[in-house]
Chains A and B, each alone.
Chain A
């Protein structure tokens, strides 16, 4: 049972380059999230999706775009990478329904460095 899988695990980019992080989950979860983790900042929500074909902005959406064309996949794109986007990115998913009680399942993370 794979759970939440993130690819790639590591990536180094130059300023201005673009890239896409892929998140795939095999639990038929409705909700999916992208967070970034920076030292001393905890986890900050970038974008999220409450179902296939829907996306919404989180706390720190600037510089990122997302797409949820298939229920199991949630893509995070950086169109023009900046050094401030150097971070560890985590994808998470949870069961559907507007409930605050459901637990998030996290991927292992993708470490991105922008030079």
Chain B
């Protein structure tokens, strides 16, 4: 079964500092990769996605992620965080599970706290 591991459950970082949120997945087959963000008391919304092509993908709010097939990773980065980036971030992976169906698996989330 597919699994998604977010290595850090909580990441505190000072405002204007860089941040990296780590995500690893277990599949050896072709995948689609996503990062979703959940602001306090809200639903999840898409931050960015990797479907194919360039391994560096850019998302909203200055975030970017790099797909590394050999390391089965899809780490999320931002060079300078803002207070408004305080949220929980979820990595998600879709794999083909046969018979025309796809399986979407979420990681357990990483809570990013930006300190003034």
Residues of A within 8 A of B (CB): 4, 40-43, 45, 90, 92, 98-101, 103-104, 106-109
User: Would A90 and B32 count as touching, CB distance under 8 A?
Assistant: no
Closest to A45 in B: B104
Instruction: Write out the residue numbers on chain A whose beta carbons fall within 8 Å of the beta carbon of B43.
Output: 4, 90, 92, 106-109
Total A-B pairs, Cβ < 8 A: 50
Q: Is the interface of A mostly helix, strand, loop or mixed?
A: loop
User: Would B108 and A41 count as touching, CB distance under 8 A?
Assistant: yes
| 7 nearest A-B residue pairs (beta carbon) | A100-B94, A106-B43, A100-B102, A42-B108, A98-B100, A43-B106, A106-B44
Count of residues in B whose CB is under 8 Å from the partner chain: 26
User: Would A98 and B49 count as touching, CB distance under 8 A?
Assistant: no
Instruction: Write out the residue numbers on chain B whose beta carbons fall within 8 Å of the beta carbon of A41.
Output: 108
A29 to chain B, nearest CB (A): 14
User: Would B109 and A101 count as touching, CB distance under 8 A?
Assistant: no
Instruction: Write out the residue numbers on chain A whose beta carbons fall within 8 Å of the beta carbon of B51.
Output: 101
